[in-house]
Amino acid sequence: MTGTKNDLINYRIARAKDTYEDAQILADREKWNSTINRLYYAAYYAVMALLLDSDLKPGTHNGAKSNLSEYFIKTGKIDKEYGKIYSQLFTWRQKGDYDDMFDFKGEKVIPYFEPVKKLISIIENMIKT
């Protein structure tokens, strides 16, 4: 990618928001495994923007989760509730994508929309300040 670090950060925030909208579309069609995938990636793109803003560059999804926990959750910069949500989505995304004969239900997925939306907003505000 060409552009500045800020260009990439802004791109990732925009991607987080777009992916969140994709999750809403999939939920409307009751495609719950795909909805979990998109909710996870919406949060992941926002987390990656935050990590880049902090000059942290994890090479894996697990590294992103670890960096978020170490530098933002444990330090109290982001409420631990969001660390738990991110970790749960990480686990569920893998389960939904890779486990055979497993399907999520709407009642399990729908409660994650608002926290993911809030996490994206929290991260966007942290980056702006």
Q: Per residue in 52-104, pLDDT tens?
A: 999 999 999 999 999 999 999 999 999 999 999 999 999 999 887 787 777 88
CA distance 51 to 56: 5
pLDDT for position 1: 56
Length of the chain: 129
**Maximum Cα–Cα distance across the chain:** 45
pLDDT category at 2 given cuts 50, 70, 90 is confident
DSSP 3: S
**Structure-token match 């880049």, residue found:** 52
pLDDT for position 63: 97
CATH topology of domain 5-128: Four Helix Bundle (Hemerythrin (Met), subunit A) (1.20.120)
**Structure-token match 């939904």, residue found:** 96
Q: Is the pTM of this model over 0.85?
A: yes
CA dist 101 to 18, 30, 34, 82, 97, Å? 29, 17, 14, 29, 11
